[in-house]
């Protein structure tokens, strides 16, 4: 063994600890060997001290398996086979530590991604559930309220059983379609005007003013406005029985404007009035909706979805 290699090995032995530092090793080897640069390449990572070139490289093995590469410069330093043999175990420890850290980081990232995916899936499921809840509330409930009113009339007069059964079939169809995520056929095929006419034309207490609605809008916009109008009519039927209701929709320079008014008793609008669903639906498609009411002055729900 050459004197230089013995000196390097002694220096390496003096700096080794339970967890060898590859940067300290590279500095120690380079200094003891009189090199201008030394590098250790372990597990794809290069730990270098000094600089220069060209580099003289030597594979470091342990247990018959490559653990890394020892590189020194200049080439005049010559090969250091005895040093490479001594470095086998330290580089094996460094390689295992590096790969363990990498696997732990990848595992942590995968765990975080799994948690994110679970939260995302839960949020999407909750959004779907809330959407279905709103559709049932705004669409199907309208028919159920109408059924209740018709039932009271049948009970009072003893007539209209056939009409009651027809309305019951309609309510059942709406419930099934809504639960299945199916929009009213008139809304899909004919747009907002056709859907409002199909649902409200048969109500004697409702006046439709949709002559100014001549164009089609994106499906999500027409759906949102349709359900806002249905909920407003439904609220009027529940809380302003016997009132005259007017539903209007029109194209304007601002976009799709809509309004539902009744001449019922009115009420004091407060944040707890339960009308958030109306404003949320309009906001979901970039629009606005407001409720205007006062005791003795009826109620108006108006809004617009910009072009």
Q: What tokens does 228 get?
A: 């806002």
Cα 290 versus chain centre, distance: 28
Distance from C-alpha of 66 to C-alpha of 207, rounded to nearest angstrom? 86
* Pair 67, 95: CB distance under 8 Å: yes
Distance from C-alpha of 218 to C-alpha of 225, rounded to nearest angstrom? 11
Give the chain's largest Cα–Cα span: 119
Residue 172 DSSP SS3: helix
Distance from C-alpha of 250 to C-alpha of 232, rounded to nearest angstrom? 17
The ranges of the chain annotated as CATH 3.30.565.10 are 184-307
Residue 156 has pLDDT above 90, yes or no: no
Query: How confident is residue 207, by pLDDT bands cut at 50, 70 and 90?
Result: very high
Q: What is the pLDDT of residue 13?
A: 81
Residue 163 has pLDDT above 90, yes or no: no
CB atoms inside a 10 Å sphere around CB 194: 18
CA atoms within 13 A on the CB side of 196: 30
- Using a 10 angstrom Cβ sphere, with 0-12 exposed, 13-18 middle and 19 or more buried, the burial of residue 152 is exposed
Which helix (H) or strand (E) segment is 60 a member of?
Answer: strand 56-62
Across 29-44, average pLDDT: 90
Higher pLDDT, 292 or 220: 292
Within 8 A by CB and 6+ apart from 18, the residues are: none
CA dihedral 95, 96, 100, 101 (to 10 degrees): -40
Distance from C-alpha of 266 to C-alpha of 254, rounded to nearest angstrom? 28
Residue 69 has pLDDT above 90, yes or no: yes
Distance from C-alpha of 161 to C-alpha of 170, rounded to nearest angstrom? 14
Q: What is the pLDDT of residue 179?
A: 54
* Pair 11, 28: CB distance under 8 Å: yes
Cα 267 versus chain centre, distance: 38
Q: What is the pLDDT of residue 127?
A: 65
* 248-296: pLDDT as tens digits: 999 999 999 999 999 999 998 887 666 787 888 888 888 999 999 999 9
Q: What is the pLDDT of residue 99?
A: 87
pTM for this model (two decimals): 0.47
Cα 113 versus chain centre, distance: 13
- Using a 10 angstrom Cβ sphere, with 0-12 exposed, 13-18 middle and 19 or more buried, the burial of residue 232 is buried
Residue 228 has pLDDT above 80, yes or no: yes
Place of tokens 């009035």: 273
Residue 126 has pLDDT above 60, yes or no: no
Q: What tokens does 191 get?
A: 């747009």
Q: Between the ranges 53-62, 121-130, 242-251, where is the mean pLDDT highest?
A: 242-251
Phi, psi dihedrals of residue 18, rounded to the nearest 5°: -65, -35
Peptide bond between residue 300 and the one before it cis (omega within 30 degrees of 0): no
For residue 104, CA distances in Å to 22, 47, 99, 100, 219 come to 20, 21, 8, 6, 47
Assigned fold of 184-307:
Heat Shock Protein 90 (3.30.565)
């Amino acid at each position: 063994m050459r004197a230089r290699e013995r000196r390097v090995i002694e220096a390496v032995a003096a700096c080794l600890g339970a967890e060898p530092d590859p940067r300290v090793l590279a500095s120690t080897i380079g200094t003891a060997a009189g090199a201008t640069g030394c590098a250790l390449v372990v597990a794809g990572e290069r730990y270098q001290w000094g600089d220069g070139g060209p580099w003289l490289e030597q594979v470091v093995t342990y247990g018959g398996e490559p653990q890394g590469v020892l590189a020194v410069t200049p080439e005049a330093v010559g090969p250091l086979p005895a040093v490479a043999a001594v470095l086998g175990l330290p580089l094996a420890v460094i390689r295992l530590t590096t790969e363990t850290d990498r696997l732990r980081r990848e595992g942590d990232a995968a765990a975080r991604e799994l948690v994110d995916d679970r939260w995302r899936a839960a949020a999407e499921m909750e959004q779907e559930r809330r959407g279905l809840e709103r559709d049932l509330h705004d669409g199907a409930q309208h028919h159920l309220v109408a059924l209740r009113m018709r039932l009271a009339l049948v009970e009072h007069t003893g007539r209209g059983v056939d009409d009651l059964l027809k309305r019951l079939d309609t309510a059942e169809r709406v419930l099934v379609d809504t639960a299945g995520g199916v929009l009213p056929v008139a809304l899909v095929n004919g747009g907002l005007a056709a859907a409002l006419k199909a649902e409200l034309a048969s109500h004697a207490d409702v006046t439709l003013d949709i002559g100014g609605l001549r164009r089609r809008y994106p499906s999500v916009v027409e759906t949102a406005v349709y359900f806002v109008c249905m909920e407003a009519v439904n609220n009027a039927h529940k809380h302003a029985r016997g009132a005259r209701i007017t539903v209007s929709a029109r194209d304007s320079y601002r976009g799709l404007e809509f309004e539902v008014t009744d001449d019922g008793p009115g009420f004091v609008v407060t944040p707890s009035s339960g009308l958030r669903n109306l404003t949320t639906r309009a906001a979901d498609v970039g629009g606005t909706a407001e409720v205007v009411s006062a005791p003795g002055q009826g109620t108006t729900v108006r809004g617009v979805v910009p072009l």
